[in-house]
Amino acid sequence: MLEELKEKVLQANLELPKRNLVIYTWGNVSAIDREQGLVVIKPSGVPYEKLKPSDLPVIDLNGNKVEGDLNPSSDTATHLVLYKAFPEIGGVVHTHSPWCTKWAQACRAIPTFGTTHADYFYGDIPCTRPLTPLEIATEYEKNTGDVIVETFKNLNPNDIPGVVVHSHGPFNWGKDPMKAVENAVIMEEIAKLAFYTQSLSPHAEQMDHHLLDKHFLRKHGKNAYYGQKSQKVNN
Amino acid sequence: MLEELKEKVLQANLELPKRNLVIYTWGNVSAIDREQGLVVIKPSGVPYEKLKPSDLPVIDLNGNKVEGDLNPSSDTATHLVLYKAFPEIGGVVHTHSPWCTKWAQACRAIPTFGTTHADYFYGDIPCTRPLTPLEIATEYEKNTGDVIVETFKNLNPNDIPGVVVHSHGPFNWGKDPMKAVENAVIMEEIAKLAFYTQSLSPHAEQMDHHLLDKHFLRKHGKNAYYGQKSQKVNN
Amino acid sequence: MLEELKEKVLQANLELPKRNLVIYTWGNVSAIDREQGLVVIKPSGVPYEKLKPSDLPVIDLNGNKVEGDLNPSSDTATHLVLYKAFPEIGGVVHTHSPWCTKWAQACRAIPTFGTTHADYFYGDIPCTRPLTPLEIATEYEKNTGDVIVETFKNLNPNDIPGVVVHSHGPFNWGKDPMKAVENAVIMEEIAKLAFYTQSLSPHAEQMDHHLLDKHFLRKHGKNAYYGQKSQKVNN
Amino acid sequence: MLEELKEKVLQANLELPKRNLVIYTWGNVSAIDREQGLVVIKPSGVPYEKLKPSDLPVIDLNGNKVEGDLNPSSDTATHLVLYKAFPEIGGVVHTHSPWCTKWAQACRAIPTFGTTHADYFYGDIPCTRPLTPLEIATEYEKNTGDVIVETFKNLNPNDIPGVVVHSHGPFNWGKDPMKAVENAVIMEEIAKLAFYTQSLSPHAEQMDHHLLDKHFLRKHGKNAYYGQKSQKVNN
């Protein structure tokens, strides 16, 4: 079942080591089939170079395995929360990519410093609040998802397709699994730029909001004019 | 038309990912045929690995497309302003290369710290002033070019073949498109060196101006003695 | 003798340049056959690309060469101390990998800042005290091992499979030589993350100890649930 | 003439881009035939990938070209001064390798922070004083050599096989051209380690001098015991 989606999820997972977002098995990508309410995700602890499409477990939105021999990623419950809360997303990715993880470990949002950021993320990339001891002890992975959703209470996840989780690392999403990974690659680059921008200019203010609007809307929404007419440059 | 120039512009664009100046489609190179007043430029949003010479649109200096099926780079208007204002340049390149982008986001000129800088850039590499809300709202890309030209009011663009645009990233130019890219590669290296020089020595002063003169003039102008007699080592 | 173990030690040594932990001959891996009390180790000063299994000397736990034409690593005495003091380890690795060496040269323990650390190291990665002039003058390499053991007086080397040696660099260990190298790769990544975390947040506190417990125990011990049932994810 | 030496100098020059010490033509290696008093050096401004042994000019110690069609490196006069002043060296290399250049631009010696440094450089790697305007205006490249020699007035160039030149970059030397390049690679690594060590520990003191002695003398001189008996591990 879901052969085509499995192939897409496999390719998106293989992009992680290729783009230097992971070493060993430090990341996982999933995708959802919205009609059937089924999710395909990387199996836990399996090296990318050994993955075959048939290795990818299929689970329902309650976390029950519908197909597959292998255990799904230990982060599966977080992915499921995001699919339920963010109805327009089709793929989710979690890694420990270095630059995003540094901001996560410093427990800080990534500030909006320039047009590279503005081209893809419509404002600061938030950092979640810490989980409570009780949230860590019980249903930890589900609660990680819940705290992400709580962080986006007043934010549009389609305009800011990523977050850093407190003391942990980044989660990203997109309209499909490859787009989610592209957002992860770009957020990693933005996180690096922001680190050095602040080193060069410790009291740097956020970029001008007119310029932020200009760049985000040049690439997104109905008046976008970047790219070719046949392309949809959306998250 | 302009087959030879298209091939040169293609090769110069391919140099961007090869030299690690760009990821995805984050950069564009153009060249001008001065006799015909026509510019060849990368099409917007097309991945480098798929580019063919015939994909490259040809435009006139008013921005009208003369040939080609694809939209030109969204930054085309900036390139055109530079060709009109700087009569000796033959190629222009814009990227979001990381080290230059960090200085741009910090809204700072790149100081002249050593002979690596002096070999290619005859003094500080300036940062443009911020655009006004009105300049952002109307003809944004043209105004980006205008503010670069304004920045070079008292500077020679042949001696300082690059700039960082406030909250954005670098533009470079040269006598031809490959030379423009070479200047971009070198400015990226210089931007990196300057960041760490300043970290090591926060109150570092600019280099001695005699040494700056010596190194720049060792490589440029009529008394240059670097390289072989058959080579012209100009920007 | 010990042909299978030699092959494993060779492969683990080859992993060092492949994972960017060493340049030239700046690292060595060994393994122990606990039944026979014999250790296989890299020969001193031999480039990795020229190593053959038969080049690897075999030594006993007193440092006597039992087989082989080449001198064992100059750090052999340190490896032997660790095998004698830490009975559950099967492999030891020493490198001058850059990020760990920076913490070693700064004479600082690597703080526990996030889940990447917690997944593999159950608390701070300690730095040894400086050796005394006498300890340096006599049996220097043995004393380097002794000061590591002293540092782990109140620590479990199975839960924290690595250390930085004061003014020197990292040592790591694991249940076998490849696992020791994996721990070295991961410690290098953690050391890098910790450097930048602290730069971003100079007064960063250690991570919440509930989260540390959660992540370490999710991957280690009898209630671990990361990975596939057939996998043992131990150090 | 000097066919064997030309081949060695070629190989040593090719090592520069391979080891990431240079981009474009930003470095040059030479070697001396002490019996004949002749030096083989990279020609100026020729890309490494196009170099053939027969391209390498041969010059005498007064700088007169004895053989070859191409201009020697513009830094030739500096190399010659070093060969005349340091009688035991057989190869010289100059690059703008990034980490050494950062220390040079910051006008600072590289402090002795750990055993990686001590294994190859017996104490701080000095930075030259600035040249005077007159020294820059006349015989600049010869004066660069003279100020290096002046810097080593009370230092042994065999024990500290490298220097950073004020506002410029590194020079290294060794018993032959490949060893000179190896010292350049190692100095680049040491310069990187020292930068971050100091960032982690701003008031870091130099390493213990007993440990410095131990490591340097473990690898150099008559009581060295690193490596195999057949190897001479000297600079």
D115: which chain C residues are within 8 Å (Cβ-Cβ)?
Answer: 96, 167-169
Q: What is the mean pLDDT of chain B?
A: 95
Is the CB of residue B44 less than 8 Å from the CB of residue A227?
yes
Res. C233: pLDDT tops 70: no
**Amino acid code (one letter) for B220:** H
Could C204 and A140 be called an inter-chain contact, meaning their C-beta atoms sit closer than 8 Å?
Answer: no
Give the model's pLDDT for residue D231.
56
The residue of chain A nearest to residue C211, with distances taken between CA atoms, is A136
Report pLDDT digits (tens) over B98-112.
Answer: 999 999 999 999 999
**Are 3 or more Cβ–Cβ pairs between C and B shorter than 8 Å?**
no
Q: Which of D75, D83, D119, D176 is the catalytic position?
A: D119
D113: nearest CB among C23, C105, C140: C105
Could C193 and A98 be called an inter-chain contact, meaning their C-beta atoms sit closer than 8 Å?
Answer: yes
Res. D17: pLDDT tops 70: yes
Phi, psi torsion values for D171, nearest 5 degrees: -120, 140
Report pLDDT digits (tens) over D70-100.
Answer: 999 999 999 999 999 999 999 999 999 999 9
Closest-CA distance, C135 to chain D, in angstroms, reads: 10
The residue of chain A nearest to residue C225, with distances taken between CA atoms, is A74
State the pLDDT confidence band at C205, using cuts at 50, 70 and 90: confident
B192: which chain D residues are within 8 Å (Cβ-Cβ)?
Answer: 98
Could C227 and A140 be called an inter-chain contact, meaning their C-beta atoms sit closer than 8 Å?
Answer: no
Catalytic residues of B: 119, 226
C197: which chain A residues are within 8 Å (Cβ-Cβ)?
Answer: 102, 105-106
Task: Read off the tokens for C170.
Answer: 């990292």
Res. C229: pLDDT tops 80: no
Contacts of B108 (CB under 8 A, 6+ apart): A200, A201, B127, B164
The residue of chain B nearest to residue D71, with distances taken between CA atoms, is B228
Give the model's pLDDT for residue D232.
45
Measured distance CA(A107)–CA(D85) in Å, rounded: 56
Q: Which candidate in A55, A74, A96, A101 is best for mutational testing of the C interface (most C CBs within 10 A)?
A: A101
C210: which chain A residues are within 8 Å (Cβ-Cβ)?
Answer: 133, 136-137
Cα separations in angstroms, B174 against B28, B57, B92, B203: 14, 20, 7, 32
Could A44 and C211 be called an inter-chain contact, meaning their C-beta atoms sit closer than 8 Å?
Answer: no
Measured distance CA(C232)–CA(C135) in Å, rounded: 39
Could B105 and A231 be called an inter-chain contact, meaning their C-beta atoms sit closer than 8 Å?
Answer: no
**Amino acid code (one letter) for C140:** Y
Res. D156: pLDDT tops 90: yes
Domain B3-219 classification at class level: alpha beta
Give the model's pLDDT for residue D230.
60
Closest-CA distance, A194 to chain B, in angstroms, reads: 8
The residue of chain D nearest to residue C71, with distances taken between CA atoms, is D228
Give the model's pLDDT for residue C234.
38
Measured distance CA(D96)–CA(B187) in Å, rounded: 14
- Answer yes or no: is the ipTM higher than 0.85: yes
For each of chain A's 235 residues, which pLDDT tens digit applies?
999 999 999 999 999 999 999 999 999 999 999 999 999 999 999 999 999 999 999 999 999 999 999 999 999 999 999 999 999 999 999 999 999 999 999 999 999 999 999 999 999 999 999 999 999 999 999 999 999 999 999 999 999 999 999 999 999 999 999 999 999 999 999 999 999 999 999 887 789 999 999 999 999 999 899 998 765 443 3
Could A214 and B133 be called an inter-chain contact, meaning their C-beta atoms sit closer than 8 Å?
Answer: no
D108: which chain B residues are within 8 Å (Cβ-Cβ)?
Answer: 200-201
Phi, psi torsion values for B43, nearest 5 degrees: -70, 155
The residue of chain A nearest to residue C229, with distances taken between CA atoms, is A71
| Closest of D160, D189, D142, D161 to residue D20, by C-alpha | D189
> Is residue B63 classed as helix, strand or coil in its secondary structure?
coil
B133: nearest CB among A114, A194, A210: A210
> Is residue B95 classed as helix, strand or coil in its secondary structure?
strand
Measured distance CA(C165)–CA(C105) in Å, rounded: 8
Q: Which candidate in D41, D101, D128, D200 is best for mutational testing of the B interface (most B CBs within 10 A)?
A: D101
- Interface list for chain C against chain A, based on CB atoms closer than 8 Å: 113-116, 182, 185-186, 189, 192-194, 196-197, 199-201, 204, 207-208, 210-211, 214, 218, 225-229, 231, 233
Res. B177: pLDDT tops 70: yes
Give the model's pLDDT for residue B232.
45
Helices B76-85 & B140-151, crossing angle to 10 degrees? 30
C200: which chain A residues are within 8 Å (Cβ-Cβ)?
Answer: 102-103, 106, 108, 195, 198
D96: which chain B residues are within 8 Å (Cβ-Cβ)?
Answer: 115-116
C23: nearest CB among D185, D210, D225: D185
Task: Read off the tokens for A47.
Answer: 């090296």
| Closest of D86, D94, D96 to residue D175, by C-alpha | D86
Closest-CA distance, D168 to chain B, in angstroms, reads: 5
Closest-CA distance, C13 to chain D, in angstroms, reads: 16
Give the model's pLDDT for residue C235.
36
Q: Which of C119, C120, C122, C146 is the catalytic position?
A: C119
Could C115 and A168 be called an inter-chain contact, meaning their C-beta atoms sit closer than 8 Å?
Answer: yes
Mean of pLDDT values over B25-38: 97
Measured distance CA(C174)–CA(C181) in Å, rounded: 8
Could D228 and C70 be called an inter-chain contact, meaning their C-beta atoms sit closer than 8 Å?
Answer: yes
Report pLDDT digits (tens) over C67-88.
Answer: 999 999 999 999 999 999 999 9
B195: nearest CB among A116, A196, A208: A196
Q: Judge whether C226 counts as a catalytic residue.
A: yes
The residue of chain B nearest to residue D45, with distances taken between CA atoms, is B227
The residue of chain A nearest to residue C113, with distances taken between CA atoms, is A105
Q: Which candidate in C65, C134, C167, C171 is best for mutational testing of the D interface (most D CBs within 10 A)?
A: C167
C106: which chain D residues are within 8 Å (Cβ-Cβ)?
Answer: 197, 200-201, 204
Measured distance CA(B230)–CA(B234) in Å, rounded: 12
Residue whose structure tokens are 């002490």:
D34
Res. B157: pLDDT tops 80: yes
Mean of pLDDT values over D213-217: 94
State what percent of residues in chain C have pLDDT above 70.
Answer: 97
Give the model's pLDDT for residue C230.
60
The residue of chain D nearest to residue C44, with distances taken between CA atoms, is D227
DSSP characters for B153-211?
TTS-TTTS-EEE-TTS-EEEEESSHHHHHHHHHHHHHHHHHHHHHHHH-TTPPPPPHHH
Is the CB of residue B91 less than 8 Å from the CB of residue B162?
no
A105: nearest CB among C185, C197, C225: C197
Task: Read off the tokens for C98.
Answer: 């850059």
State the pLDDT confidence band at B134, using cuts at 50, 70 and 90: very high
**Amino acid code (one letter) for C161:** P
Give the model's pLDDT for residue A205.
78
Could C204 and A103 be called an inter-chain contact, meaning their C-beta atoms sit closer than 8 Å?
Answer: no
Contacts of B83 (CB under 8 A, 6+ apart): B32, B39, B61, B89, B92
**Amino acid code (one letter) for B36:** Q
Res. B214: pLDDT tops 60: yes
